[in-house]
A and B are shown apart, each in its own frame.
Chain A
Amino acid sequence: MAILVGSDTKAIVQNITGSQGTFHTKLMLTYGTKIVGGTAPGKGGMQVEGMPVFDTVSEAVSKTGANASIIFVPAPFARDATLEAISHGLNPIVLITEGIPIRDSIDIMARAKERGCVIVGPNTPGIITPGECKLGIMPAHVFKRGEVGLASRSGTLTYEIAASLTRAGLGQSTCLGLGGDPIVGLSFVDILEMFRKDPQTNSVALVGEIGGNAEELAAQYIKETKYPKPVAAYVAGRAAPPGKRMGHAGAIIMGKTGTAESKLEALKAAGVRVALKPGEVAKLLAKK
């Protein structure tokens, strides 16, 4: 089962002719993802990795029957491209682009909500249901099919923790990056809700970082709903100074909001198994 993407996902790649778009189309096809075509306005009629290129999403959807999209469009044009995908009912939409203005992301998320569409990202490595579908830029070899659901605000830490889970013999149902921006489509709470309903997922790993209060809200949700599956969490940024952006646009402690301590305390109080090193997540989930 897993969540959001699987063997029935048929995706287009927006900006398939760009270098990242082309490179990852190849890797996703190699993994077995059903990529059915791509778009690049002005380049309709071309082929990339054997896949047809269309001028518009409208045409791509009517000719390929695609039901999902992955977007590699540069930041200044990403709002337009994402609204295009939303308006043609593609769901989910994985928004890889980094550096989208907050105002544009707010518009995108409002429109997605109206149309009942899930946005993964922006500034995300994407989503993978191991063995079925990889809609993203993550290195495939660290993931293995299994029962742990993984949601993360960081790309490389997702790979780091997935690799240690796989080494420990713990496969994954679905792994996804929520995105490193202040405004992203999915929250930890949304994901916890999906993993709760997913019969394949037996436990959940959350990977947080400084900035915002998504982890605190997750803790509150876990406590209030007496979450039925074990949850382990790692939060990066205990050594980060306030007021400085740590790589991700969203990773910043503003005043007293967004510190790692506040997140760790909230998670602990909600009964979450808290890891102080990325490698400990696997150990915490291996325990019964």
Chain B
Amino acid sequence: MPPGHLASSPQETREIAEKLACPVVVKAQVLVAGRGKAGGIKFADTPDDAEKAASAILGSKVKGEKVTKLLVEKKLDVARELYVGLVVDRPAKCYTLLASQVGGVDIEEVAQKTPEKIIKHPLEPGRSLEGFQARELAQSLGYKGKQVVELGAFITELCLTATEYDSELAESNPLVETKDGEFVAADLRMIVDDNSLFRHKSLLEESREVGHELSPLEVKAREKGLAYVELDGDVGIVGNGAGLVMATLDMIQDYGGRPANFCDLGGGANEERIANGLEIVLGNPKVKVLFLNIMGGITRCDDVAKGLLDVRKRLGLTKPIVIRLVGTNEEEGRRILQDAGIPSLETMEDAAARAVELAKGAK
């Protein structure tokens, strides 16, 4: 890594820049990729410039994430930018190391347009990359002698750390070869598999400290164990099953509406879970109408109906609701809703059309 420090104000940035001696790089610390292109990275030749750069980036949003911290680093004397990353190869069912001499901002474009410029090396399941394999890779990237050893060591270490921490992506982009022939990771990023956190408790605690850039409702949903993604439309959507909810979003969009969220109750949701989901979706003030789409398999329609009535009672619901309720115990579920004066529909198409109509009318 190049020498550098974290800053949270323009003044601090200036001080660090003075200490490191310019030129420096000022980088937004956000949990998104592609921040360079999005204006989150600026170069500065003087401490003045660094301070200005910091004022511009701090408080701004980079790909939707607000910047509160900057990393100020010594600018490297770049000879070449490489890419090295360990990714999950879904069809091959293994981890694969990708390396390229064409690193920098757009590795995806390289992968699409000139795939021959990327070297791929699949990892044997249950093992990391061996040292000799990494040195061979360094050699196929065109290096010799001492550089083979140094780059090999970096790649070996990256793979070891990535597999030890169950990462689903670990990449350095760019990995800089300086004019002195040294390798410096100018950027390093690792995404840890959420499902592995039960065996990485320390990571879980640290990530809480850093704080996620999730909306308050997304945080609440995560606590309740619900899959919820906030979008920017006005039709609130709750359903059971990831595929069904995605299909519901698509249908709302096809009918000219705009989904406000994705919310999956999961299989076998009980009354409480249903109530939690409804409460989170209705917590978004942009929601004008709620669309509840249930294909009851393991989930029982009577539980869904009871959950809905419970939320209505507790929150004093005023927003219009469209319900499509079919599957296990549907007669019982419909009867409960009908007794409470809430109509339910049978097809997804009818319900989606109705929800969009109501959202438009509610303007």
Write the residues of chain A forming the contact surface with B, with a CB cutoff of 8 angstroms. Answer: 20, 75-76, 99-103, 105-107, 109-110, 125, 137-139, 142, 152-160, 163, 180, 182-183, 187, 207, 209-210, 212-214, 217, 234, 236-241, 243-251, 255-257, 260, 276-279
Question: Does B296 lie within 8 Å of A139, measured CB to CB?
Answer: yes
Question: Does A106 lie within 8 Å of B195, measured CB to CB?
Answer: no
The answer, among A142, A236, A243, for a CB contact under 8 Å with B250, is A236
Residues of A within 8 A of B198 (CB): 75-76
Question: Does A75 lie within 8 Å of B243, measured CB to CB?
Answer: no
Q: Whole-angstrom distance from the CB of A71 to the nearest CB of chain B?
A: 16
Q: Whole-angstrom distance from the CB of A240 to the nearest CB of chain B?
A: 6
Residues of A within 8 A of B94 (CB): 106, 110
- Please list 25 pairs of residues, one from A and one from B, whose beta carbons are closer than 8 Å in the complex, sorted by A's number: A100-B195, A102-B88, A103-B163, A106-B94, A107-B125, A139-B327, A139-B328, A157-B244, A160-B244, A163-B295, A209-B243, A210-B246, A238-B250, A239-B231, A244-B229, A245-B227, A247-B242, A247-B246, A247-B266, A256-B112, A276-B250, A276-B254, A277-B254, A277-B348, A277-B349
Question: Does B250 lie within 8 Å of A213, measured CB to CB?
Answer: no
The 8 closest A-B pairs by CB, nearest first: A154-B243, A156-B241, A247-B242, A110-B125, A157-B243, A101-B196, A236-B246, A247-B264
- Mark contacts of B71-94 with chain A using CB atoms, 8 A cut-off: 1 yes-contact digit, 0 otherwise: 000000000000000001011011
B95 sits at the interface (CB 8 A): yes
Question: Does A155 lie within 8 Å of B241, measured CB to CB?
Answer: yes
Give 9 new A-B contacts, CB below 8 A, not counting A102-B88, A159-B295, A160-B295. A100-B195, A103-B193, A137-B267, A139-B328, A159-B297, A244-B229, A249-B194, A250-B90, A277-B254
- A139-B297, A240-B262, A241-B231 known; A279 and B349 CB under 8 Å? yes
Question: Does A217 lie within 8 Å of B242, measured CB to CB?
Answer: no
Interface centre among A152, A159, A249, A260, by most B CB within 10 Å?
A159
Question: Does A238 lie within 8 Å of B297, measured CB to CB?
Answer: no
B337 sits at the interface (CB 8 A): no
Please name the residue on chain B nearest to A109 by beta carbon: B93
The answer, among B93, B231, B327, for a CB contact under 8 Å with A159, is B327
B168 sits at the interface (CB 8 A): yes
